[in-house]
Structure 1
Amino acid sequence: MSKIRVLVVDDSPVYRKIITNALNRDPQIEVIGTAENGKIAIDLIKRLNPDVITLDLEMPEMDGLETLDRLKRSNSNVSVIVFSSHSYAGAKMTFDALEKGAFDFVPKPSNGSFSENLNKIFSLLVPKIKVCYLNKSSVSLKKATKRDKPDIKPLSLPIKRRDAVAIGVSTGGPSALKEIFSKLSLQISVPIFVVQHMPPLFTSQFAKRLDSLSPLKVKEAENAEQVKGGVIYLAPGDYHMELNNEDGKIRIRLHKGPPENNCRPSVDVLFRSVAKVYNGKTLAVILTGMGSDGLKGARLLKEKGAYIIAQDKATSVVWGMPKAIVDAGLADKILPLSQVPNAISDLVRK
């Protein structure tokens, strides 16, 4: 396999060095250049033709968002992973960047020594670059604006009461959840629980963004709050989300238990809890994402009688988590993203 050619774009000389040193640790990756702003980066992209660029969002002269716009207008085939500051403004810019076609994001370490930050970036960034490269045909900026064509064939779905929906998603999740939640039926009267692999702070901003688009209320889950029907609960970053049945009232429990599948929040933790509280009266949906988080929990849900939907390969940014469900024979339906909102609405509406 040829090396993955990466261009590092950041206005900070320190971070350019940290990112370069981190990536050069991996023998499959080659940093072919660096740039201190978007204007320089666009010129280097034309000359060096990188596979992937890491793009800081907050830069002088030409920031990351303007750079993404320029690259899309030029029909660039490069894939982009953005770096974001750990702030509300940084989180907003990150979601704007994802909507403009960035593959994924990595939060910039806000403190720590040079070596500590290097190790953090290595562990977070290298796996995403490799997955990005392997899925380059579908995640480059040239492909990012293409949508799957809606399949208008009627779905044959079972008639059985579903008291809750549990959704697990990772890479590619922000755009997928936006697509789904903006099209859900107002007639949905059951709670929807969502684990999206995302750092702290970003989930609160993401919940607000989704709430502005969805006919249903979307909120970041709070510890000990009582669950209400017709509300979408998003697990906060760095917290597992579980459910407890206390005196006939279902409440959310957030905690910092050990990561599972290298994730906190973890889909498996949520799914296990949903299986315990709701038994088989559940609809589980596994969407685009790296890895196999949710597989063990989905097995338990299936044993209880839950109905399970997996997103198909063609419309997934990364067909990892859904593929694990499909390969294990747990999926009742494998659907393109365009069909998921109607499937959820039809299975759980009043």
Structure 2
Amino acid sequence: MSVALAAPNGAIDARDERLRVMVVDDSAVIRGLISRWIEAEPDMFVVASLRTGREAVEHVARVDPDVGVLDIEMPELDGISALPLMLAKKRDLVVIMASTLTRRNAEISFKALSLGAADYIPKPESAREIGAAETFRRDLIQKIRHLGARRRRAKPVPHGPPLVPAPGGAHVSPRPPAPVSAGQFTRRPFGATAPRVLAIGSSTGGPQALMALVTEIGPVIDRFPVLITQHMPPTFTTILAEHLARASKRPAHEAVDGETVKAGQIYVAPGGKHMRVARHGADIVVALDDGPQINFCKPAVDPLFQSAAAVWRGGVMAVVLTGMGTDGMRGGKDVVSAGGNIIAQDEATSVVWGMPGAAAQAGICAAVLPLGQIGPKLVRVFSGDRS
């Protein structure tokens, strides 16, 4: 057994506002690397570094983490088996599944989301890759910070001086953003132009939100094309498209460069490529782009929204679902400028109210709705009700 539990001076100060993180991975190299990254941030620290899922289940109640980073493939008890046992002992635990980019692990990660995991993150496949994986480090720290902050938001937190950036320039958002009430942002009236396409952008929490949404918008999918950009790596987007097809009972696939965009189809931006649309004669086609990251993402939502606005003008109905950052806000401004409409998911039902919150606060949304109301609203809007 290899267990490292944090207990400075024999106890951890209950007033400590930093996020408490449990790291569970059978690789000592990866455990050490992730732990060092976490300890370098002033708003979080490691309460346990564990080798197996069994150790995680045994210690989760005692070390009381806010966030757990849980490997999938481990001896004694793997991550997918340990997950429900950990949540049974600590229901409000935020679990981020970590896995290498294989089809099997992508499938397991999707299963983990259905079992209560908050999110997933792809790990580089070797220790050599890990050492150079700045993207992995940035994404992991952001997920811990934002998902942990959401959990803390429901708890009373002692007041104290705000944390300051660490030496060396670490970027920190130690406290969750203050909730924004409906009266604090401006809503635009729905445009008069009939929508001709549905474009959706999502990130953290997006897979679960997309599954719920597509089950409710069958009449829209049947008559109009649906284009989705979800922040995801390759392989994961393949699995996402398959899950969306099963959930919606409509055709869904990763978009192919140059294919014609047609009604009755769901097109998913493939991991590692930006998805745009363009006119090609009388047709509208998919244009995949292997350019640099936009908003630290690839695929990114802004290219989809911006190109859709250029092609369909006022006929774009765009939806911004749960996710970190502000991706989709700039493209959403282009949609609105062209006469189209934006709906954003509300804060209460978002796993992270970053992307939809940015759109709402930019004043570009015609509606900000709970996830369960977005589907019915889309069906009404595409049927002619634009009130």
- Does the alignment reach a TM-score above 0.5? yes
Matched, 1:259 2:293: yes
Pairing of 1:192-271 with structure 2 (within 5 A): 192-271=226-305
Change (3 A) 1:139 1:170: farther
> Which amino acid is 1:136 matched to?
R
Using a 3 Å threshold, how does the CA distance of structure 1 residues 112 and 278 change in structure 2: closer, same or farther? farther
Q: Structure 1 residues 62 and 29 mapped into 2: Cα distance closer, same or farther (>3 Å)? A: same
Match of 2:355 among 321, 327, 331: 321
Does the Cα contact within 8 Å between 1:189 and 1:349 map onto a contact in 2?
no
Give 1:176's aligned residue.
209
The runs of 5 or more residues in structure 2 that have no matched partner are 1-15, 156-188
In the alignment, which of 193, 196, 200 is matched to residue 167 of structure 1? 200
Q: Deviations over 1:126-183 (max 9, x none)?
A: 111110111015899xxxxxxxxxxxxxxx9776421111111111101000000112
> Which letter does structure 2 place at the counterpart of 1:94?
S
Larger Rg computed on CA atoms: 2
The 1:221–1:118 alpha-carbon spacing in structure 2 relative to 1, beyond 3 Å, is: closer
Cα root mean square deviation, aligned? 2.1
The aligned counterpart of 1:101 is 116
Counterpart selection for 2:34 from 13, 19, 22 = 19
Counterpart in the other structure of 1:276: 310
Structure 2 CA distance for partners of 1:37 and 1:117, relative to 1, 3 Å: farther
2:321 counterpart (287, 291, 297): 287
Using a 3 Å threshold, how does the CA distance of structure 1 residues 36 and 309 change in structure 2: closer, same or farther?
Answer: same
**Letter of the 2:89 counterpart:** S
Rounded to whole Å, the distance in 1 between the matches of 2:210 and 2:85 is 26
Q: Which residue of 1 aligns with 2:367?
A: 333
- Give the superposition deviation at 1:213: 1.1
Residue 277 of structure 1 aligns with an amino acid whose one-letter code is: V
1:31 to 46, 67, 73: 46
Question: Partners of 1:46 and 1:118 in 2: how far apart?
Answer: 31
| Superposition deviation, residue 348 in structure 1 | 2.3
Q: Which amino acid aligns with 2:380?
A: D
CA distance in 1 between partners of 2:379 and 2:135 (Å): 40
CA offsets, 1:253-285, max 9 Å, x none? 111112111111111111110011101111010
- Length-normalised TM-score, structure 2: 0.82
Q: Taking structure 1 as the reference length, what is the TM-score of the superposition?
A: 0.90
Return closer, same or farther for 1:114/1:27 CA change in 2, 3 Å cut-off. Answer: farther
Q: What amino acid is aligned across from residue 168 of structure 1 in structure 2?
A: G
Whole-angstrom CA distance in 2 between matches of 1:157 and 1:272: 19
SS for the counterpart of 1:242 is strand
Q: How many residues align?
A: 335
For 1:285-322, what per-residue CA distance to the aligned partner results, in whole angstroms no more than 9, with x for missing partners?
A: 01111111011111111011102111111111111111
Post-superposition offset of 1:215: 2.9
For 1:288, the aligned partner's letter is T
Distance 1:243 1:17, change over 3 A: same
Runs of 4+ in 1 over 6 A off after TM superposition: 156-159
| Gap runs ≥5 in structure 1 | 141-155
> Do the aligned partners of residues 348 and 61 (structure 1) sit closer, same or farther apart at CA in structure 2, a change above 3 Å counting?
same
SS in 1 for 2:271: coil
**Deviation sequence 1:84-142 (CA, Å, 0-9, x none):** 121000000001111112111111101462762463432221111110111015899xx
